[in-house]
Amino acid sequence: MDKIKPIFKDKTPTIEQLVEKFQQLNTLMVQKMQSMGKDNGGSGGSLDAITEHPYYPNTLPIYNYTPSTYSKTQIAVALGIPILLVSLLSLKFISKTNYTLEKRKGMRPLTILDRLGVVWLLIGGLIRIVFGGYFAVYHKNIASDGTIFGDVYREMGYVDSRYLINDPLIITLETLMAVFVGPLCILTAISILRGYHPIRHTLQFLATSLQLHIVAIYMGTNILSKFNHTHPDPKYLWRYSASAGLAWVLVPLLLFAQSAHAIVVTFKHEQKPIVAPKKQN
């Protein structure tokens, strides 16, 4: 039997070599998937030709890319108005919950972290369900999508161009966000607004832990690839990535710690030491 040729010439490959090899394999996988889509009609023949694009790396094969239909200002307004409306509704719900807790039940009102959590959970949950769900369904044509959703993801492509090439990892993560994280966030917010519902911390622990795990996988692969898919303009790395990181990491991390502490305290009070029966003489 012929010997299998080693992937690396050295016996102990470095981290850089492993990352480079991973990127090569990932690119080959994406190209193979796209060529299969082309052979099978590609959802109406949308994957027909590699077009020039402003994303990085420059050699990245993006099929049928078309420039954004809306300006960045229009995209910001289209996103900002729903977020503002959800925020205002969240504050109204919080006020109603606090009134019920204080006046009718004689309980303490929601804490600052609880209130922040409700706003974040409702906004984040809806974003995950609506945008993540759209991407999970229409990711094959997202580079040429003429809707506001397509423009949002084309703008995100400057931060991470993997969104525009049917990358298997990105598709998987966005689908998980839409199917699991989004609904869990909404249910958690409802349980908080119900006035410290018993299932609240179980839902919150699941939602935030999934969120943090998915973000860690996403950011980890991006860091290991040395941000190869990020536009070199600093604003895309710092203005977008850093601000998004605060929203998608800091708040869920605080909520995760809150739920973990609540679960530990609950078990500490409920668990009683087992006392062995006294022996009778």
Q: In the prediction, which pLDDT does 17 show?
A: 64
| Residue 3 belongs to a domain | no
60 with 201: CB under 8 angstroms? no
Query: Where do we find the tokens 């080693």?
Result: 6
Q: Could you give the dihedral angle defined by the CA atoms of residues 85, 89, 92 and 97, in that order, rounded to the nearest 10 degrees?
A: -160
Q: Is residue 154 part of a domain?
A: yes
Contact at 8 Å (CB) between 157 and 56? no
pLDDT value for 226: 87
CA 252, 257, 258, 263 torsion-angle sign = positive
The structure tokens 């006392």 sit at 275
Alpha-carbon gap, residue 252 to 230, rounded angstroms: 25
Using CB atoms within 10 Å of the CB of residue 227, give its burial: 0 to 12 exposed, 13 to 18 middle, 19+ buried: middle
DSSP state of 230: S
CA 158 – CA 149 distance, rounded (Å): 15
Q: Is 241 a member of any domain? A: yes
Question: How far is the CA of 200 from the CAs of 97, 185, 204, 263, in angstroms?
Answer: 15, 11, 6, 11
Q: 50 forms bridges with which residues in the sheet?
A: 63
Question: Is residue 232 assigned to a domain?
Answer: yes
Range of the domain at 186: 72-267
Sign of CA dihedral 143, 238, 56, 67: positive
State residue 278's pLDDT score: 63
Q: Show pLDDT as tens, one digit a residue, over the chain (281 residues).
A: 444 445 555 556 666 666 566 666 666 665 655 555 444 444 444 445 677 888 988 888 888 899 988 888 999 999 999 999 999 999 999 999 988 888 877 788 899 999 999 999 999 999 999 999 999 999 999 999 989 999 999 999 998 999 999 899 999 999 999 999 999 999 999 999 988 788 999 999 999 999 999 999 998 898 898 888 888 888 777 766 667 777 889 999 999 999 999 999 888 776 665 555 666 65
**What is the number of domains present in the chain?**
1
How far apart are the C-alpha atoms of 50 and 63, rounded to whole Å?
4
Q: Is residue 54 part of a domain?
A: no
Among 259, 251, 177, 257, residue whose Cα is nearest residue 218: 177
For residue 239, is it within any domain?
Answer: yes
Q: In which region does residue 147 sit, left (phi positive, over 0), alpha (psi from -120 to 50) or beta (all else)?
A: beta
| The model's pTM | 0.76
Residues in the chain: 281
CB atoms within 10 A of CB 258: 18
Q: Which has the closest alpha carbon to 188: 100, 128, 132?
A: 128
In a domain, 246, yes or no: yes
Closest listed residue to residue 215, CA positions, set 237, 189, 235, 244: 244
Asked whether residue 13 is domain-assigned, the answer is: no
Extract the tokens encoding 130. 């609506």
